[in-house]
């Protein structure tokens, strides 16, 4: 029995010794400060794993390589403001120039048309010749009178019918050039003004977005105000072009009428010279 008890006590597990019990966690010792990174060390890659000691290194900024194209873009974006403002001054100058031309051409066509119609009526009378034209009509300084004078000055050089026609063509060509004087400016403004206005709008939009990006403004109202000012250039360019187009068409109709009337005057003057020579 005693042996059985001793065997039973031997088979029971013995209690854990105090040394084997878990000891209380000792307070962690303060971590030693990380040593500063060497300036010669290569920059850490953003995808690289953190170091084993737990210290984190900030990635170093690599300076961007600005080439000539980047410098050109910077120069262009910095000059868009004054280029946008210059488009307005160009359009205002166009409006002033064509206004002066319109006033000058109105006076010219009014005076020239009055004198040319008077000369045509004098030659259209029955039995009228160049000698029967009133002297005050030939003293006027208009394109039709100048054409008739040019024809009379070269009548002595005309020895045949072909020579007379050549003299009429020369006088007519000179008169037609006087009628069309300065109209090419209106034609140029009609084509150039909308393009300059569109260019000013594009430059204004670029300048608006560059200014907003630099200031860090995301207000839609500020963006709309900048774009509205930029679009004013296109509206101004189209307005100047329509202004020039209206008077260009009016003057073109006057030119066509005076050209036809001058041709009739020269034909009748040529017939009078033929009758006088025959």
| 25 lies in some domain | no
Q: Is residue 215 part of a domain?
A: yes
pLDDT of 238 reads 96
Number of domains present in the structure of the chain: 1
**With b meaning 16 or more CB within 10 Å and e meaning fewer, what string describes 112-125?**
bbebbebbeebbee
pTM score, whole prediction: 0.64
Burial of 277 (0-12, 13-18, 19+ CB in 10 A): exposed
pLDDT at 196: 94
Phi, psi at residue 163, to the nearest 5°? -65, -35
- Tokens 């070269």 — which residue? 154
Q: Which domain holds residue 168?
A: 80-277
pLDDT reported for residue 169: 83
pLDDT at 50: 54
The answer to whether the beta carbons of residues 221 and 189 sit under 8 Å apart is: no
- Distance between CA atoms of residues 83 and 200, nearest Å: 7
| pLDDT of res. 58 | 52
Report pLDDT for 211.
Answer: 74
| Residue 2 confidence (pLDDT) | 42
C-alpha distances (whole Å) from 214 to each of 77, 129, 207, 211, 223 are 12, 81, 11, 5, 13
Residue 56 lies in a domain: no
Distance CA 140, CA 70 (A): 65
Q: Identify whether 89 is part of a domain.
A: yes
- 10 Å CB burial of residue 74 (0-12, 13-18, 19+) is exposed
C-alpha–C-alpha distance, residues 156 and 278, integer Å: 14
58 belongs to a structural domain:
no
Per-residue pLDDT of the chain (278 residues; tens, 9 = 90+): 444 444 444 444 444 444 444 444 444 444 444 444 444 455 555 555 555 555 555 555 544 555 655 565 555 556 677 787 888 999 999 999 999 999 999 999 998 888 888 888 887 776 666 666 777 777 777 888 888 887 777 766 666 777 777 888 888 888 888 899 999 999 999 999 999 999 989 888 887 777 777 766 666 676 777 788 888 999 999 999 999 999 999 999 999 999 999 888 888 877 777 666 55
């Amino acid at each position: 029995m005693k042996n059985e008890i001793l065997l039973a006590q031997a088979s029971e597990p013995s209690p854990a010794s105090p040394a084997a019990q878990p000891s209380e966690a000792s307070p962690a010792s303060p971590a030693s400060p990380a040593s500063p990174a060497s300036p010669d060390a290569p920059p850490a890659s953003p995808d690289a794993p953190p170091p084993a000691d737990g210290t984190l290194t900030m990635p170093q900024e690599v300076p961007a390589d600005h080439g000539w194209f980047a410098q050109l873009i910077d120069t262009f974006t910095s000059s868009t403001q004054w280029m946008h403002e210059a488009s307005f001054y160009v359009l205002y100058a166009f409006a002033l120039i064509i206004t002066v031309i319109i006033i000058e051409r109105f006076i010219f066509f009014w005076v020239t048309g009055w004198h040319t119609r008077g000369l045509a009526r004098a030659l259209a009378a029955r039995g009228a010749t160049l000698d029967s034209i009133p002297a005050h009509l030939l003293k006027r300084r208009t394109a039709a009178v100048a054409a008739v004078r040019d024809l009379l000055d070269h009548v002595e050089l005309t020895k045949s019918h072909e020579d007379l026609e050549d003299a009429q063509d020369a006088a007519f060509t000179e008169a037609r050039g006087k009628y069309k004087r300065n109209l090419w400016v209106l034609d140029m403004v009609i084509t150039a003004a909308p393009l300059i206005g569109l260019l000013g709008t594009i430059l204004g939009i670029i300048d608006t977005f560059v200014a907003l990006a630099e200031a860090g403004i995301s207000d839609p109202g500020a963006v709309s105000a900048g774009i509205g000012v930029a679009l004013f250039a296109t509206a101004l360019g189209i307005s100047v072009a329509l202004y020039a187009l209206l008077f260009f068409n009016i003057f073109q109709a006057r030119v066509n009428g005076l050209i036809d009337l001058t041709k009739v005057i020269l034909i009748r003057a040529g017939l009078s010279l033929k009758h006088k020579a025959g």
